[in-house]
Amino acid sequence: MLLIHCPWCGARDEAEFRYGGQAHVDRPPDPNAVDDREWGEYLFVRDNPRGRFSERWVHSAGCRRWFDVVRDTATNEMSAEVPSRSGRR
Amino acid sequence: MAEPYAESPLATYTDVLERSSVRGQLRIAEEPFLAQVTVRVDPKSPAAERVGTALGGMLPNQSGEVVLAGDLTVLWLGPDEWLVVGPEGRDRDVQERVTAALDGEHGAVVDVSANRTVLSVTGPRARDLLNKGCALDLHPRAFESNRCAQTMLARAGVILVRRDAEAPSFWLLVRSSFARYLADWLVDAAEEYRSGGGEP
């Protein structure tokens, strides 16, 4: 089990969290201006690196806040957690 | 016409919880019908200060901090979210005072008294019992008096409040629909203390 550092509550078990996928995926400002291919990529296509990956987590069984972490997908090492810039506090 | 009638989620468990308590070691009991009001407001706004004044103590701003204000207990639930717990029947009064203190500023005041019920777990064995299903370090060094945490106990979401570290005393605030499950789990987990000394 991963021990995840919530920026508000500190270290808690992974079971208290839900995964929110890749961080910093911005919604196209005008969805009508993009074609189907671009919209499809926004909806479905995500990076899948081996190594450092910015992703979102929510402390669903705790303070219920979203935050971003950088996780190494090869080692599960997590760092640089800051309150999420793209979600609610 | 029907008479107004309230039954707590663990009304039928009073005897069961009483029987699973061990004199001088462990006591499990429901504290039904406590008033609970959720407050959300920007912690840096003047409104947050007014809300604190109206409740008789500043809103806690540290993670897991608990502030006692007379007969009210204010729990930190998030950077802009608090739960005010008070004796039965205080919900309307708290709601009105906090709403008046907000004075139209952006915020939320909701009576959630029926959302959760409160189980009190007290006695020298309380920490051992809770740690069977909770991953948090509940030693007084790490989790002192008047601290709270939202976490999972036996996979059920709870708000855990340490009321007193000297004579270990905890509150478990659990959603009504999980209350009987959690009570069953507590009774089962407390079995070994009932049958003497903690030996298997």
Given the candidates 3.40.1190.10, 1.10.3720.10, 3.30.1360.120, 3.40.50.620, the CATH classification of the domain at B13-32+115-192 is 3.30.1360.120
Contacts of B152 in chain A (CB under 8 A): 13, 15-16, 61
Residue among A60, A48, A51, A61 nearest A87 (CA): A60
In chain B, where the domains are located: 13-32+115-192, 35-111
Higher pLDDT, B194 or B169: B169
Query: Is the pLDDT at B195 greater than 80, yes or no?
Result: no
What is the total residue count of chain B? 200
Structure tokens at A88: 């609610």
**CATH-assigned architecture of domain A3-80:** 2-Layer Sandwich (3.30)
Q: d(Cα B91, Cα B110) in Å, to the nearest integer?
A: 9
Q: Which two tokens stand for residue A57?
A: 């987590």
Cβ of B63 and A64 within 8 Å?
no
Give me chain A's average pLDDT, please.
89
Q: Do domains B13-32+115-192 and B35-111 have the same CATH topology?
A: no
In this prediction, residues B109-114 reach a mean pLDDT of: 96
Do B63 and A9 lie within an 8 Å CB cutoff? yes
Put simply, the answer to whether B77 touches A9 (Cβ < 8 Å) is no
Chain B residue numbers touching A63 (CB-CB < 8 A): 63, 77-79, 81, 150
pLDDT over 70, % of chain A: 89
> Mean pLDDT for chain B?
93
Prediction pTM value: 0.89
Confidence of residue A87 (pLDDT cuts 50, 70, 90): very low
Domain ranges of chain A: 3-80
Name chain B contacts of A65, Cβ cutoff 8 Å: 78-79
Confidence band of B199 (pLDDT split at 50, 70, 90): very low
Please enumerate residues of B whose Cβ is less than 8 A from a Cβ of A: 63-64, 77-81, 135-136, 149-152, 155, 157
Which ranges of chain A does DSSP label H, i.e. alpha helix? 36-44
* Distance from the A79 Cα atom to the nearest Cα atom in chain B, whole angstroms: 20
3-class state of residue A55 by DSSP? strand
| Residue B127: both structure tokens together | 């920490």
Please give, one letter per residue, the 3-state secondary structure of B105-121: CCEEEEECCCCEEEEEE
Give the contacts of B14 (CB within 8 A, at least 6 positions apart): B29, B30
Work out the minimum CA distance from A66 to partner chain B, whole angstroms: 11
Question: Which residue among B63, B152, B155 places its CB closest to the CB of A8?
Answer: B63
> Among candidates B155, B161, B197, B147, which has minimal Cα distance to B178?
B155
CATH of domain B35-111: 3.30.70.1520
Compute the distance between CA of residue B49 and CA of residue B40 in angstroms, rounded to an integer: 13
